[in-house]
Structure 1
Amino acid sequence: MPKNHPVSRRSVVVPLALLGASVLSLASCSSNGGGEADPNAPVTLRLSVEAGAVRAPIAVMADKYSEENPNVTFDVEEVPNEQYGEVLRTQLQGGNASDVFYVTGGNGNPHSALPLAEAGYLEPLTDTSAAELYNDQTRYLSEWNDQLWTQPVDFVPITNNYNVTAAEELGIKLPFRTVAEVKAACKTAQAGGKTLLRLAGSTVPNNGLTTLQFAATRVYADEPDWNAKRTNGEVTFADTAGWKESLQLILDLRDAGCFQNGVEAGVVADNVPNVAAGNAIGAFAPGGAVGDMRRINPDASFISTAFPGDAGEEYMFASPSNMLGINAKSGANEKAAAKAFLAWLAEPENADALAETSGNLSIRAGAGSALPEQYSSIATYFEQNNYQPLANLGWPSPEVYNTLGTGVQGLLTGQTTIDDVLASMDAAWDAAS
């Protein structure tokens, strides 16, 4: 049977983290909700997105929308990846969040859709264009209390992204089919004065996403319903060999010289520019990072591939995890304009244009057969249904993923052990269930 079935999830309200006044100063107050919308009124929409190496793809599309709709302008706030979730939640709690903001699906991140919906921060989108962008396998990523709360903007394969041009200069053949091939390429890259794989070791999301790439083949390939089993108490992180193997691989790759010097202090903002320039051959990131790389270095060739299993197994995560939500506290004019913007993004031509800019797959095409050349090496994953939505989106709270990401940094610095990380993840899961 196909393996790409949605994992079970339980929705919880997560306490909001507090940041200092300096974070609050990043945003001014949104107008209050209520009242009738004036469709002809000029509107400035505040838009919050994660910052990248170049202008965020959603911000690029917002510029295009304003060109076509001069009565709508955007005030864009781009927040670094490692700070985005806490900044957004602090702004939402303070009542001064943007009108439209980036979220992820499910439960697993600080800025995930379901906890924000349950806390009353999101405007429902059930009767909008968002509804047609989900299917039976992905609807759970946005559905709470029989309503949809967010709109997916693209379809995201979780991959390694490589500079093919830089790899060929060193004689490195891509894609890798085994871990042994990866480790051999690490030595080749080192000998050529380069890094094979950049890891943002100081950043919770990048550490977590990297480990999940390893866990795709080591945990979820054999047990695609592992999350459901964990919810039912049939398995734990600590007693699952694949989770131990996934964390051990972090240390093995470090010891093989695969990561950059000072990996434990690495930040996401350095990954894309270094791969684009060829200083590093690749980096751990969603496939969309290639969009930024191409804009920085249009003369180089790039590919996105899944990290191999121990015996060449093929399994990966891919899902419509990038989403936009509308602030429930925004004014009537802002809400109406925001819904019109989201409807425009959902139009096939604009969905395809966003994917071209971002480097992800079009939300309209999903995991269809007409894949861009960037994804040619993972076409079989989609053809054989060897994928499922990103696992942490079905975890019961952001704290489980946070524990994983901080645990990986502890492993890199020698301050914790694999057993301690897994035990802490189990404790975080149980506390949220």
Structure 2
Amino acid sequence: MSRGSRILACGALLVPLLAAGCANEARDADTLEISTISGGPNDPIDTVVREFRAANPGITVTVKKVPFDQHLQGIRRRLSTGRPPDVVTTLPGYGESSSSASLADKGLLLDLSASPWSKEILEADRRITGDGTRTFVYPVSSQAVGTFYDPKVLAREGLSVPTTFSEVLTLCRTVARKGKVAFAMTGQEGAGLTIFVGLALAASDVFADDPRFGERRLAGQATFAGTAGWARSMEHFQQMKDAGCFDKGAAGSSREAAAQAFAKGEALMAVGTTVTLQLFQAGDANLKLKMFPFPGSDDPAKVRIPIGPAVGLVVPKKAGNPGLAKKFLDFYAAGRERYARLDASVPAIPVRTNKPDVPDYAEALRPYLQAGKTAPIMDQHWPNPEVHTQYASGLTEILLGKKDPGQTLKAMDAAWTERAP
């Protein structure tokens, strides 16, 4: 998801019940400024802020909310200025220039290792929330990649959930003969659906046999093009395209169009993360969706679920009130289980267990998580955002018939750097 940078205007959408202020106004010692993403009506941040204010009389909390893309575009530049917000929402790990690890590499974030919740972060997430020894982001929610579907629709079509990759291809061909497509898809830059399918395939094709591939790639001990599992995952994506799994115009359609096709039953399934439920329900709020593990292998024992933190909060090194910012994060973390219920999400730092979890609509994924049959959200471990861009564009080029799988992997290796640029 390659995005340019742009400073956000002071007239961004503000949470109505909170005081507002422009970036060039002086901030007093009892004022906390939060910059976050526009959420839905049940956005937990609103409740957290309201309760934090009630628990700390005399403080003022200002919350700026802007759409996802606009927010990410401005983060890096705002954190580099003389007066950034005190708390900022961003994506954990690498993957984009505004993701937490990229910002930490540039020395733009405070070390949060002394926070009480830092010690409770899952071991598998420590390289995403920090550098293995230090913590730079409070991971708010967790995400897992799987396949959305409406059980009633599959039953009406006389189909069952596939459990092997060969069954996926057979299902695609069967559905195509009926004039429909098996999977909603879009190849537009930043839309994400090609990436989700790619990650689901790589989880089984790469990480079932080589669970430490991410670490080896970071250490320069492996390449994408030189790894048989990555080549196999790209070939599998090509096979899905050839089997008619996606609409012929998918490469140019929007994410919203893909969601509408899914809602209308023109596409029977959609691969995404658990946090994209609202996207696929947008076309029809009455859809009762469930998720099943995407089978990226013909060996069910090798099926893996990509999982990792979905969104996080950071404190800029130049924050005006770092102490109050850390206090806010500690407050949020202490009530994280209750706050997560507001939008049906799952805390990235589990409560009363050391195992990751998923929402109830994705309960079919839960046994894989409990058994440790998981893989990382891979691009969270790719320091240079250009690697992600090459991957996403390469998958789209495969949809268009303009690039073969091997070319994409070589382009990803060519874009690789050891740290964020």
TM-score by length of 2: 0.81
Tell me if the contact between 2:390 and 2:411 (Cα under 8 Å) persists in the aligned partners.
yes
Name the residue aligned to 1:363: 349
- Corresponding residue number in structure 1 for 2:47: 64
Q: Which residue pairs with 2:67 in the alignment?
A: 78
Shift of 1:77: 0.9
| Residue 185 of structure 2, aligned match among 195, 199, 220 | 199
| Partner residue in 2 for 1:221 | 208
Query: Is 2:79–2:318's contact at 8 Å kept on the other side of the alignment?
Result: no
> Given that residues 218 and 418 in structure 2 are in contact (C-alpha distance below 8 angstroms), is that contact kept between their aligned partners in structure 1?
no
Task: Tell me which residue corresponds to 1:9.
Answer: none
In structure 2, what is the equivalent of residue 396 of structure 1?
383
Does residue 179 in structure 1 map to residue 165 in structure 2? yes
Rounded Cα–Cα distance in structure 1 between residues aligned with 2:140 and 2:305 = 20
1:86 to 1:168, Cα distance in 2 relative to 1, 3 A: same
Task: Quote how far apart the aligned CAs of 1:325 are.
Answer: 1.5
Task: Give 1:337 shift.
Answer: 5.1
Structure 2: unaligned runs, 5 residues or longer:
12-21, 55-59
2:243 maps to which of 256, 271, 290: 256
1:387-419 residue CA offsets vs partner (Å, 9 max, x unmatched):
133222223322222221122122222332222
Tell me which amino acid in the other structure corresponds to 2:172.
C
181-190 or 373-382, which moves further after superposition?
A: 181-190
1:253 is displaced (CA, Å) by: 1.5
Match of 1:407 among 394, 409, 412: 394
Measured against aligned partners, the alpha-carbon deviations of 1:316-363 in whole angstroms (never above 9, x if no partner) come to 22122421223333422xx45543443333234x43442561544663
Alpha carbons of structure 1 residues 108 and 268: separation in structure 2 relative to 1, 3 Å: same
Question: 1:164 aligns to what?
Answer: 151
Aligned to 2:111, the other structure's residue is in SS state: coil
SS in 2 for 1:148: coil
List aligned pairs for 1:337-356, cutoff 5 A: 338-348=325-335, 350-354=336-340
Task: Give the percent of matched residue pairs that are identical in Structure 1 and Structure 2.
Answer: 23
Unaligned runs of 5+ in 1: 1-15
Match for 2:36 among 48, 71, 80? Answer: 48
Selected match of 2:89 from 102, 124, 127: 102
> Please, which of 400, 409, 413 is the counterpart of residue 422 of structure 1?
409
Q: What amino acid is aligned across from residue 66 of structure 2 in structure 1?
A: E
What amino acid maps onto 1:102 in structure 2? T
Residue 324 of structure 1 aligns with an amino acid whose one-letter code is L
| Letter aligned with residue 37 of structure 1 | A
Deviation at 1:230, TM superposition (A): 3.0
Inter-CA distance 384–145: structure 2 relative to 1 (3 Å threshold)? closer
Distance in 2 (alpha carbons) for counterparts of 1:379 and 1:109: 29
How far apart are the structure 1 equivalents of 2:226 and 2:319?
46
Contact 2:259–2:281 (CA under 8 A) maintained in structure 1: no
CA contact (8 A) 2:122 2:349 kept: no
Alignment pair present for 1:125 and 2:117: no
CA distance in 2, matches of 1:391, 1:383: 20
Question: Could you give the per-residue CA deviations for residues 362-396 of structure 1, whole angstroms, max 9, x where no partner exists?
Answer: 63247748754322222321232111332222233
Distance change in 2, residues 1:186/1:97 (3 Å): farther
Q: How far apart are the structure 2 equivalents of 1:97 and 1:429?
A: 30
**What is the letter of the counterpart of residue 400 of structure 1?**
V
Q: Is the 8 A contact 2:387 2:412 kept in 1?
A: yes
Instruction: Give secondary structure in 2 for the equivalent of 1:123.
Output: coil
Give the structure 2 partner of residue 283 of structure 1: 270
Q: Which residue of 2 aligns with 1:30?
A: 23
Decide whether the 8 Å contact of 1:32 with 1:330 is kept in 2.
no
Match of 2:224 in 1: 237
State how far apart, in whole Å, the 2-side matches of 1:214 and 1:292 are.
Answer: 22
Q: Which moved more, 1:394-403 or 1:139-148?
A: 139-148
Aligned to 1:8: none
Q: Distance between the aligned counterparts of 2:361 and 2:10, measured in 1?
A: 37
Which residue of the partner structure matches residue 372 of structure 2? 385
Q: Find the aligned partners of 1:369 and 1:169 in 2 and give their Cα distance.
A: 33
What amino acid maps onto 2:48 in structure 1?
Answer: Y
Letter in 1 for 2:170: A
How much has 1:285 moved relative to structure 2? 1.6
Q: Is contact 2:142-2:345 (8 Å) kept?
A: no
